[in-house]
Chains A and B, each alone.
Chain A
């Protein structure tokens, strides 16, 4: 995002987005989860039975996200092995071969979403391994997840330190860091920068995906929820900021090694991880294979960390709350179903569908359900009531400013992103130039999952409700 939106000035908009939108939203999800001692559906059922659907809709979004997110983790696992031998080539041959290797050898990318092609079996195998690992992490519940998370957070941090040191010692690194950090205040007048910053804050904190309500319910009854929300938000964003040094020093190295301007380096999303970084690895003067293994291992751990968080808090926990099913059975069922659905993303046309489902779930789904959740909690349940619950256990008492952030600023920020960056583009023309029938699946999936959310609302909740609040 920093790369796409002009470097250093983006960080200013990003920090403002974190403070006025991200942290209040995090406090809301943690606080409501703790008060009602339930995941998202239970929280909204607690506000009023007619609102329960608003808890299930993000559950569907979380489920969709993990079906393709685990495929990206499988790519990272595959690349961890490939990096050991620099399978895409070394030196200039590797720089030229990185893109064909990813789109050809790994994905066998087809001509469009209508041509699926066959399954890519090495990715299917890696995907199966990922889901087996996730099952063993999740089936014993939140207590074990908390202990595993200590390692899956610490290990990537250690690897990031190594990658940052490696990046900073490469020629041209300073040019990349100057681009990353030097603020150009004039860029702040561009509405796209604010769109980018607010959307990045929404995605990076894993809000609007049902999970944080469940994790709020896991927090001890006397724990300081406000402090937990601040720590989670700051830790996440500090990691992103820190990772930027590893990324941009490498971008600077690519600029230097290939004698190209920054705009010609594919510096965002999947292109950065699976094309640009392999280009940099193949051009490194020393420790190329080791750096590659460390980078993709780091991606793997970061991915696993997010995946079990999202699957357990966003999907498994709400289903257990609703139906009273055993944890092992729900976990096994979700892992198998998500693996089977994820197979579509391992086909030759999988990358197109991954992009479409990502647009559906982690853009529209996340932002719309997030905005609606803030409106319902702020105006129907009552922002003041939530604030009083938060302040009961908080050392740092929050004031009435929180009410207005939750009731007005956060939903307005989210709706701005979804209207400006979503509806205005995707209604004018099919998303990313895909065929209309394929791009229309965005609206079909949103409508079907909304309908299913109302179906689940109509089903009686099996387990008794227990409120932790006053």
Chain B
């Protein structure tokens, strides 16, 4: 893979994994959907 492709993969993975980790670590309130 090109250097640009590797950098893009790492950056995008950090954005998504980091973002989701941040959000899920703050979960706790909520529960099932209700109509």
Instruction: Please give the residue numbers on chain A whose beta carbons come within 8 Å of chain B beta carbons, in ascending order.
Output: 8, 11, 15, 141-143, 145-146, 174, 177-178, 180-183, 215, 218-220, 222-224, 227-228, 230-231, 234-235, 237-238, 241, 317, 320, 327, 393, 395-396
Known: A8-B5, A11-B8. A234 touches B31 (CB 8 A): no
Specify which of A15, A142, A145, A224 is in contact with B30 (CB 8 Å cutoff): A224
A145 to B34, CA, bound (A): 10
> Given the complex of chains A and B, what is the CA–CA distance between A136 and B9 in angstroms?
40
Interface contacts beyond A220-B34, A223-B29, A227-B26: sample of 13 additional A-B pairs, CB < 8 Å, sorted by A: A11-B12, A143-B33, A181-B1, A181-B6, A183-B4, A183-B8, A223-B31, A227-B27, A230-B19, A230-B23, A234-B19, A235-B20, A238-B16
Chain A residues with CB under 8 A of B5: 8, 177-178, 180-182
Q: How far is the CB of B13 from chain A (nearest CB, A)?
A: 8
Complex CA–CA separation, A230 to B19 (angstroms) = 8
Q: How far is the CB of B26 from chain A (nearest CB, A)?
A: 5
Q: Would B35 and A218 count as touching, CB distance under 8 A?
A: yes
Number of A-B residue pairs having CB atoms within 8 Å of each other in the complex: 85
Taken together as a complex, chains A and B put the C-alpha atoms of A11 and B8 apart, in Å, by 9
Give A215 to B32 CA distance when docked, in angstroms: 11
What residues of chain B lie closer than 8 Å to A142, measured between beta carbons?
33-35
Q: Provide the main secondary structure of the chain B interface.
A: helix
**Complex contacts, B20 vs chain A, CB 8 Å:** 231, 234-235, 238
Tell me the B residues contacting A by CB distance below 8 Å: 1-2, 4-6, 8-9, 12, 15-17, 19-20, 23-24, 26-27, 29-35
In the bound assembly, the distance between CA atoms of A223 and B15 in angstroms comes to: 24
Closest Cβ neighbor of A18 among chain B residues:
B15
Query: For residue A394, which residue of chain B has the nearest CB?
Result: B26
- Specify which chain B residues have a CB less than 8 angstroms from the CB of A220 in the assembled complex: 29-32, 34
Q: Is the CB of B34 within 8 A of A15?
A: no
In the assembled complex, the Cα of A307 lies from the Cα of B35 at a distance in Å of 18
Instruction: List the A side residues contacting B12 at CB < 8 Å.
Output: 11, 15, 241
What residues of chain A lie closer than 8 Å to B33, measured between beta carbons? 142-143, 145-146, 215, 218-219
The interface residues of chain B lying within 8 Å CB-to-CB of A235 are 20
Contacts of A224 in B (CB 8 A): 26-27, 29-30
A–B pairs, 6, beta carbons within 8 Å: A178-B5, A220-B31, A228-B30, A230-B23, A393-B29, A395-B26
A241 to B14 alpha-carbon distance, docked (Å): 12
Q: How far is the CA of A393 from the CA of B20 in the complex (A)?
A: 19
A317 closest partner in B (C-beta): B35
Chain B contacts of A174 at CB under 8 A? 1
B1 to chain A, nearest CB (A): 6
